[in-house]
Amino acid sequence: MIELYNGASSALFDVVMAPFGHRFPLFDLLLWPVLMGIGALQVYKYVSNQKAIARVKSQISMRLLEIRLFSHDILQVLRSTGGILLRNGLYLGHNLLPLAVMIVPITALMVQLVAHYAYAPSPAGAVELLRVELDPRAGVSSRDVSLELPAGVALDAPGVRTADGQVFWRLRAEREGDHVLKVAVGGETYEKAWAVGGDPRKVPVKRLRSWEALLYPGEPALPAAGPLRSLELAAHTRPLRFLPEGEVGILLWTLVLSLVAGFSLKGLFGVTI
Amino acid sequence: MSSRRSHRARRLAALALPALVAGVLASLAGAKSGRETGVFVVGVDGMDPVILRRLMDEGHMPNFAKLASEGSFQSLGTSNPPQSPVAWSNFVTGMNPGGHGIFDFIHRDPATYHPISSATPPAGDPGPALRFFGYVIPLSAPEVRNNRGGTPWWDVLVEEGVDVEVFRIPGNFPTPESEAKVLDGMGTVDVRGGFGTYTLYTDTLVEKDDPKGDVEVVSVQDLDLDGTPDTVSGVLRGPPDQFRLEPGETPGDGDYLTRGVTIHLDPGPGPGPYEGGNGALPTAVVEVAGQRTLLQQGEWSDWVEVPFDVLPMGLMTVRGTVRFYAKELRPRFQVYASPVNVSPSDPAVPITSPDDFVKEVFEETGFFYTQGLPEDTDALNDGVFDDDDYLKQVALVQEDTRRLVDLALDRFEPGDATFVYLSDIDLQCHMLWRHEDPKHPGAPPHPAHDPAVAPKHAGDIESFYRDVDRLLGDVRRRLPPETLLVVMSDHGFQPFTRDVHLNAWLRDQGYLRLKDGKTTGHIVAGDVDWSKTRAYGLGFNGLYLNLAGREAEGIVDPAEAPALLDEIARGLEALRDPANGARVVRDADRADRVYSGDRRAEGPDLVVGYDRGYGCSDESTLGEITEGVIEDNTSRWSGNHLMSPAVVPGILLVNRKLAADGHDLTDLTVTLLSHYGIEARPGMIGEPIL
């Protein structure tokens, strides 16, 4: 399921994102949050009960007015306050359906923006740590895990196999390229991509197998029944000059910009929020 | 670069006219003014003129030799006493200690007779605090200020519109406010607030009983019960837990914020082929605060930035940076963690002026040692490091230094004033002199000389000199040729073979008495009978009278002080080493004769200038009264300069011909100003050398 979702979103966004290449992050980081805000408005407009929302907001305004007019009557103030709380609950309830409809595409868009723009390829010559985490339920010993390196990647130090089922290798990127590391365990081979040097691009960071894999669509999720819990390489944050950078920076930027766009354009699209 | 240019632009408008006038006058005089050429100063702590001359003559220092032949090379008078904080303060302010108020590494509080830091006098009343769910919230912050008085030359230049950048200047922490861009050097604390406390995770004891670092004796656990021990858990101490300490309370061992450290050891070759190959060194992963670094035995990690939670859930954190060293993983276990440095990416205390200059440096260079004395001489002294370990660590410091010098050169533009500091020579002369005396070839072996390791390290100090020579070559290649280039050191070096317990001598001469018939004791422990004590020693060169009206229990009438000081000075200068008949003290100078300035009264009454080979013991420096007066210095701290200024002058090289010699550090200060046509400020005592 995760695999399907990531695959579909990557298939779509890998085509539509970065039409001018990854050197121009500003285009996508302005366009998509604004489109997301507009899209959310449309979903809101057609999925939510606009009349009910307008009615609830109006009722909340009335109760607020009651509090101002009858501030000398403590019982009325309490009744009005209770009414406001009740209608706030109703208002939130009216938002649940549009939220449920929007959450899937919005999440997909945000993690794709992160995957495309949060990380930079490792520079040639970089030394990074590859971490393999085993599932203790799989009954595989860390001594049974081995690594096959492609040309252009070298082992910088012998690996470390920990007592709690992790294996670490320190690797050195000797050449630019999109390298593929192969981790063999229990008769199976698992691949891990490593982007080294070259132009900015979508950089694979982690392969996971739980719901967290939804956040890392750069590579296929690990098989749920396999012996590996995760395969990850340390990633470099891509500097974005004037924009917030890194995973959190891009997520916040996208969220804030889409909210700004949505609230700014709700009148134009005739949407009651 | 852009911020430096914008700064220049702001200044330009206000200062265009005087600059124009200065430029016109300089043109008429046929010489380019400092505003056109600029000045670049390389401060090499501890570089000695005798060693330098020999190495130049032997052809080992071609860049220094070239600079000397094209310009000038001479000895440079140091401060009295020739201690780094004192000497650099002379250079920074153009004053002697009587003016700037830094007399020694260690001062004393006349109210308690206790030693105190010369850089940061005790803060005042810490004030009240609120107590809230176990937290202590101070309602006021006592002022922590830099004790150095006077006006730094960079402040004068900035006021006059010169762009100034100063990298790692000693004695500038706590950081005074300044518009000049200044990165603090020697004296800058680690996150614990001290001068650097290392941590050693070890399964065996270290050779010293009272190591200066945190030695955590750990056991390597076998978590997977496969018969091979694999995991170590330890603790890394960060800053004091200020919200748990009463205002003004000194933190104890348990009063620091901590982070757990887990070290996973690889079990080694298994049944299959081992990827390290036969004979490969063991490996481990060090894990702290969610960050991991893989080390092979003998390797150092890169910097790891560690957040320490001041408030729960990361609501407030202090960031420090640490490097790990896998000294030995198997069969013994010893992993060293450097002192946790103030992080340059997010410093917990200001270590530059303006405050954010450090981030500018960090963006260009990445992490670097921010601790003032980064070479871990404590670890070497404690036996945690051997000489090879120490030299590996010094190499890391050198890498940082080179990156900072590169940055300084990248940013330098004609008309700027830039200072860079190199610690390469000083600490290595302190620690490695015992292997071979580079100043007196063929001299008898140092008492700490170890013939087993000496041959390997005999040339280490000379090698550091050659490193500085290569760096000078880079500096000259990259600087515009008309830039005024000054290479200077704050003092030279001598062997330190014999420890002098000054307080024991004062006791033997009847100037210092202990209570209850004791013959040994400690000033801090209250063992001194002040009602019968006329003089005492504190600091590396300081001797104080127990003066009535100044000291808490003073008995010496101020009117009798000069005669008493002369008497003690004569006694010290007449002191001979019973082991060899050598003179122990070359000059014992009365402070009122060698110091000038408003702060003269804060310093010692007599400055004890030890002769070559002699120096005040650590014990006496901190106020201990020992049994004997002179003994062999068997410490690895084997070279020294805390002597008479006459035996440890520094060096001065300038890419201009100098008409005279006999200059000292305070002359350089006014030279930097006069190069830009600026008058010396009141209190500056030097004369321009150009």
Query: What does the mean pLDDT of chain B come to?
Result: 92
State how far residue B391 is from chain A, nearest Cα, in angstroms: 22
pLDDT of residue B2: 43
Question: Hey, are the CB atoms on B266 and A131 less than 8 Å from each other?
Answer: no
State how far residue A143 is from chain B, nearest Cα, in angstroms: 7
Question: Hey, are the CB atoms on B275 and A158 less than 8 Å from each other?
Answer: yes
More confident residue, B26 or B554: B554
pLDDT of residue B4: 52
3-state secondary structure of B425: helix
Cα angle at B398 between B467 and B172, to 5 degrees? 115
Alpha carbons A170 and B233: distance in angstroms, whole number? 22
pLDDT of residue B433: 97
Single-letter amino acid code for the residue at B408: A
pLDDT of residue B37: 95
Question: Hey, are the CB atoms on B264 and A162 less than 8 Å from each other?
Answer: yes
Which residue of A131, A143, A158 is in closest CB contact with B283?
A158
User: A146 pairs with which residues across the strands?
Assistant: A184
pLDDT at A192 over 60: yes
For a pLDDT cut of 70, what percent of chain A falls above it?
100
Alpha carbons A236 and A200: distance in angstroms, whole number? 12
pLDDT of residue A235: 85
Residue with tokens 């090379």: B73
Domain positions in chain A: 2-118+245-265, 120-237
pLDDT of residue B28: 46
pLDDT of residue B177: 95
pLDDT at A59 over 80: yes
For the residues B633-649, what does the mean pLDDT come to?
A: 97
Ordered DSSP codes for B245-271: SPTTPPP-TT-EEEEEEEEEEP----S
- Reported as a single tens digit per residue, the pLDDT across B190-221 is 999 998 999 999 999 887 888 999 999 999 99
Phi and psi at residue B261, to the nearest 5°: -120, 125
Ordered DSSP codes for B144-176: ------S--HHHHHHHTT--EEEEEETT--SPP
Give A-chain residues touching B226 at CB under 8 angstroms.
163
pLDDT of residue B84: 96
Tokens of B689: 């050398």
Question: Hey, are the CB atoms on A163 and B280 less than 8 Å from each other?
Answer: no
pLDDT of residue B24: 47
Contacts with B242 (C-beta within 8 Å, 6 or more apart), sequence order = B136, B138, B310
Of residues B231, B237, B236, the one with CA closest to residue B203 = B231
pLDDT of residue B12: 44
User: Is the Cα dihedral B353, B357, B361, B366 positive or negative?
Assistant: positive
For the residues B217-237, what does the mean pLDDT come to?
A: 94
pLDDT of residue B551: 97
Task: Decide if A162 contacts A142 (C-beta within 8 A).
Answer: yes
Question: Hey, are the CB atoms on A157 and B294 less than 8 Å from each other?
Answer: yes
Cα angle at B188 between B184 and B194, to 5 degrees? 175
Task: Decide if B76 contacts B575 (C-beta within 8 A).
Answer: no
State how far residue B9 is from chain A, nearest Cα, in angstroms: 23
Residue with tokens 């009343």: B125
- Reported as a single tens digit per residue, the pLDDT across B326-356 is 999 999 999 999 999 999 999 999 999 999 9
Task: Decide if B181 contacts B196 (C-beta within 8 A).
Answer: no
Of residues B549, B640, B643, the one with CA closest to residue B589 = B643
Question: Hey, are the CB atoms on B299 and A169 less than 8 Å from each other?
Answer: no
In the Cβ-directed half-sphere of B690, how many Cα atoms lie within 13 Å? 22
Contacts with B277 (C-beta within 8 Å, 6 or more apart), sequence order = A158
- Reported as a single tens digit per residue, the pLDDT across A130-159 is 999 999 998 888 888 999 999 999 999 999
pLDDT at B140 over 90: no
pLDDT of residue B271: 55
Tokens of B158: 């900035």
Contacts with B155 (C-beta within 8 Å, 6 or more apart), sequence order = B178, B179, B180
Task: Decide if B166 contacts B140 (C-beta within 8 A).
Answer: no
Alpha carbons B190 and B66: distance in angstroms, whole number? 39
- Reported as a single tens digit per residue, the pLDDT across B483-536 is 999 999 999 999 999 999 999 999 999 999 999 999 999 999 999 999 999 999
3-state secondary structure of B212: coil
- Reported as a single tens digit per residue, the pLDDT across B573-589 is 999 999 999 999 999 99
3-state secondary structure of A236: strand
Tokens of B599: 């702060």
Question: Hey, are the CB atoms on A129 and B222 less than 8 Å from each other?
Answer: no
Tell me the pLDDT band of B122, cut-offs 50, 70 and 90. Answer: confident
Give B-chain residues touching A147 at CB under 8 angstroms.
275
For the residues B252-261, what does the mean pLDDT come to?
A: 93
pLDDT of residue B273: 58
Tell me the pLDDT band of B270, cut-offs 50, 70 and 90. Answer: low
3-state secondary structure of A207: strand
Q: Which of A162, A237, A242 to mutate to test the interface with B (most CBs of B within 10 A)?
A: A162
pLDDT of residue B13: 47
Question: Hey, are the CB atoms on B223 and A147 less than 8 Å from each other?
Answer: no
pLDDT of residue B129: 80
Instruction: Using only the alpha carbons of chain B, give its radius of gyration.
Output: 26
pLDDT of residue B592: 96
pLDDT at B15 over 70: no
Tell me the pLDDT band of B424, cut-offs 50, 70 and 90. Answer: confident
Tokens of B659: 């008409």
Phi-psi category of residue A161: left, alpha or beta, with phi > 0 → left and psi -120 to 50 → alpha: beta
Helix orientation angle between B665-674 and B84-93, rounded to the nearest 10 degrees: 30
List, in sequence order, every beta strand (DSSP E) within B323-378. 324-328, 334-337, 341-342, 352-353
Cα angle at A150 between A209 and A199, to 5 degrees? 80
Of residues B99, B8, B6, B241, the one with CA closest to residue B665 = B99
pLDDT at A239 over 60: yes
- Reported as a single tens digit per residue, the pLDDT across B561-573 is 999 999 999 999 9
Tell me the pLDDT band of B20, cut-offs 50, 70 and 90. Answer: very low
- Reported as a single tens digit per residue, the pLDDT across A82-114 is 999 999 999 999 999 999 999 988 999 999 999
ipTM score of complex: 0.83
Tokens of B609: 């200038």
pLDDT of residue A242: 83
pLDDT of residue A126: 95
Helix orientation angle between A74-117 and A25-47, rounded to the nearest 10 degrees: 140
pLDDT at B137 over 50: yes
State how far residue B292 is from chain A, nearest Cα, in angstroms: 8
Question: Hey, are the CB atoms on B293 and A129 less than 8 Å from each other?
Answer: yes
For the residues B38-63, what does the mean pLDDT come to?
A: 98
pLDDT of residue B278: 62
- Reported as a single tens digit per residue, the pLDDT across B69-103 is 999 999 999 999 999 999 999 999 999 999 999 99
For a pLDDT cut of 70, what percent of chain B falls above it?
94
Chain B residues with a Cβ under 8 Å from any Cβ in chain A:
222-224, 226, 230-231, 264-267, 270-272, 274-277, 280, 283-285, 292-296, 299
- Reported as a single tens digit per residue, the pLDDT across B605-621 is 999 999 999 999 999 99
CB pairs under 8 A between A and B: 63
pLDDT of residue B527: 97
Phi and psi at residue B96, to the nearest 5°: -95, 175
- Reported as a single tens digit per residue, the pLDDT across A27-41 is 999 999 999 999 999
pLDDT at B670 over 70: yes
- Reported as a single tens digit per residue, the pLDDT across B425-482 is 999 999 999 999 999 988 999 999 999 999 999 999 999 999 999 999 999 999 999 9
- Reported as a single tens digit per residue, the pLDDT across B362-391 is 999 999 999 999 999 999 999 999 999 999
- Reported as a single tens digit per residue, the pLDDT across B297-310 is 999 999 999 999 99
pLDDT at B25 over 70: no
What is the CATH topology of the domain spanning A120-237? Answer: Immunoglobulin-like (2.60.40)
Question: Hey, are the CB atoms on B283 and A129 less than 8 Å from each other?
Answer: no
pLDDT of residue B31: 60
For the residues A184-213, what does the mean pLDDT come to?
A: 92
Phi and psi at residue A265, to the nearest 5°: -105, 0
Give B-chain residues touching A143 at CB under 8 angstroms.
267, 270-272
pLDDT at A18 over 90: no
Question: Hey, are the CB atoms on B264 and A131 less than 8 Å from each other?
Answer: no
Alpha carbons A48 and A189: distance in angstroms, whole number? 48
A61: enclosing H helix or E strand: helix A50-69
State how far residue B270 is from chain A, nearest Cα, in angstroms: 7
Tell me the pLDDT band of B132, cut-offs 50, 70 and 90. Answer: confident
